Amino acid sequence: MMTCREELIRSAKYDIVNDLDSRWETLIEAETLSIKEEVAVAPIYQRPNPFWLTPEVKGLRVLPLGRSYDLRQVYISAQ
């Protein structure tokens, strides 16, 4: 027996594959059902990323999600 979410995904995959707008809405509905009713979403692993930074490097931002670093404002100061 398939769940409602599985039926929506199957429909998006096979029945309405050529109707992009309808397929998109069906996949959004399946995702909403997954989040609200069926699936517990929790991060189970976060990759460690140790590094050593010298005091001369300034402006480096370490980001908590997505890209690891923001290098746009990095510069080397003269000490």
Q: pLDDT of 2-21, one tens digit each?
A: 678 889 999 999 999 898 99
* pLDDT score of 50 more than 90: no
Q: Considering the domain boundaries, does residue 32 fall inside one?
A: yes
Q: pLDDT of 19-44, one tens digit each?
A: 899 999 999 998 888 888 766 666 67
| Alpha carbon distance 60, 74 (integer Å) | 5
Q: What is the token pair recorded at 33?
A: 């059902």
Give the rounded distance of the alpha carbon of 17 from its chain centre.
24
Q: Considering the domain boundaries, does residue 26 fall inside one?
A: yes
Q: Considering the domain boundaries, does residue 15 fall inside one?
A: yes
Q: Considering the domain boundaries, does residue 18 fall inside one?
A: yes
pTM over the 0.85 mark: no
Q: Considering the domain boundaries, does residue 24 fall inside one?
A: yes
Contacts within 8 Å (CB) and 24+ apart, 52-58:
55/79
Q: Which domain holds residue 33?
A: 4-38
Total number of domains in the chain: 1
* Whole-number average pLDDT of the chain: 84
Percent of the chain with pLDDT over 70: 86
Q: pLDDT at position 58, please?
A: 92
Q: Considering the domain boundaries, does residue 65 fall inside one?
A: no
